[in-house]
Amino acid sequence: EPEVTQTPSHQVTQMGQEVILRCVPISNHLYFYWYRQILGQKVEFLVSFYNNEISEKSEIFDDQFSVERPDGSNFTLKIRSTKLEDSAMYFCAGTGLGGELFFGEGSRLTVL
Amino acid sequence: EDKVVQSPLSLVVHEGDTVTLNCSYEVTNFRSLLWYKQEKKAPTFLFMLTSSGIEKKSGRLSSILDKKELFSILNITATQTGDSAIYLCAVESVDSSYKLIFGSGTRLLVRP
């Protein structure tokens, strides 16, 4: 079964550093997403991406965040200057033809 | 404000028991309700329900949606230790491009 793959699985960074999280969605997915889950809390929507542009973003997705699909396959989330509160599991997801959302295994970000 | 409330927050049962997990929601222009199982990392898709009263079933798991009363239940019969996980309920609005609003989840522990 095709999977959404994410790298890295875990990244540790210093506060203020830039971080790029990468995702390879399933090829026939049309919409792509980033969600995050702070330890012990709900899964939260960050941003949706369709046809090479942001479709919708949440209040969390401020100017420190950006998304790109530079080469038509990888889908990236960049955090320009990380804060302690950015520590979370970040999930990439894609939407199947039936509208179901399929998640990648996640990238755990730890900001020190 | 759109919201999803799951109950109970946690549940401990013995193998072979049947469990019922609850999800109530408030969302503008409801499109669908989804159930996910989260073990160690990524939420794994279980069911998507869009029509009221229709039961979705997969093996020992089944789910029903009541659009009039704004809730859904997830049933697991003959539970096994491998069913131990957090079960997440999420809803989607027609107004948003497949953006999901998640509940806090129900943590299920199945003891041998």
Containing H/E element for A8?
Answer: none
Mutation test of the interface with chain A: which of B27, B99, B101, B104, choosing the one with the most A Cβ atoms within 10 A?
A: B99
* Nearest CA-CA distance, residue A111 and chain B, Å: 19
Give yes or no for residue A99 having a pLDDT over 90: no
Please give the mean pLDDT across all residues of chain B: 93
8 Å CB contact between A42 and B5: no
Q: What is the pLDDT of residues A45-84, one digit of tens each?
A: 999 988 888 989 999 999 999 998 877 778 899 999 999 9
8 Å CB contact between A94 and A2: no
Determine the residue type at A102: F
As given in the structure block, the two tokens for residue B105 are 């989840």
Chain B contact for A40, CB < 8 A?
no
Residue B99, C-beta contacts closer than 8 angstroms, at least 6 positions apart: A33, A45, A48, A56, A58, B92, B93
Give yes or no for residue A21 having a pLDDT over 80: yes
As given in the structure block, the two tokens for residue B5 are 């409330």
Chain B contact for A103, CB < 8 A?
yes
Q: Where are the alpha helices (DSSP H) in chain A?
A: none
8 Å CB contact between A9 and A75: no
CA B70/CA A67 separation, integer angstroms? 34
Buried b (16+ CB within 10 A) or exposed e, A78-96: ebeebeeebbbbbbbbbbb
CA A45/CA A33 separation, integer angstroms? 8
SS3 B83: helix
Place of tokens 């990439």: A92
Name the pLDDT band for A1 (thresholds 50, 70, 90): low
As given in the structure block, the two tokens for residue B31 are 């499109």
Residue of B45, B88, B96 with shortest CB distance to A100: B45
Contacts of A53 in chain B (CB under 8 A): none
Interface of B with A in 71-100 (CB under 8 A): 88, 90, 92, 96-100
